Amino acid sequence: VQLQASGGGLVQAGASLRLSCAASGLKFSDYAISWFRQTPGKEREFVGGVTKDSGIKTYEDFVKGRFRVSRDNDKNMAFLQMNSLKPEDTGVYYCAARSTGVFGLSRRADEIQYWGQGTQVTVSS
């Protein structure tokens, strides 16, 4: 199983980025996809996620109204659209897959089955 995250970069505050997650080696439509981020000295934290059929999308409070998750099951891809970026959004962003549980989504990193390799997002002030 591979989850390849891409699209990170260095941007100024207020800018937008779109992260992509390309999946292979799994039946993508069976998995909820979540995005987490990690900054130095902090634990990996949940950002947002989408159920396998896109029926439910959920976000952590600090990104609500600014970030949007989506997926394309035909292309085995998931996306994180990040708008109005802030310096505190800086970190390594990971896509993650989970199929267990009622909807598959989990805010807990220890419940994730598969992780991508991460993509760096840096927001300057």
Task: Please list the pLDDT of the chain residue by residue as tens digits (125 residues).
Answer: 999 999 999 999 999 999 999 999 999 999 999 999 998 889 999 999 999 999 899 999 999 999 999 999 999 999 999 999 999 999 999 999 999 877 888 999 999 999 999 999 999 99
Distance CA 16, CA 101 (A): 32
**Closest by CA position to 3, among listed 120, 119, 121:** 119
Reduce the DSSP state of residue 57 to 3 states and report it.
strand
Distance CA 110, CA 120 (A): 21
CA angle, residues 94, 97, 98, in degrees to nearest 5: 140
pLDDT at 102: 76
Contacts of 59 (CB under 8 A, 6+ apart): 47, 48, 67, 69
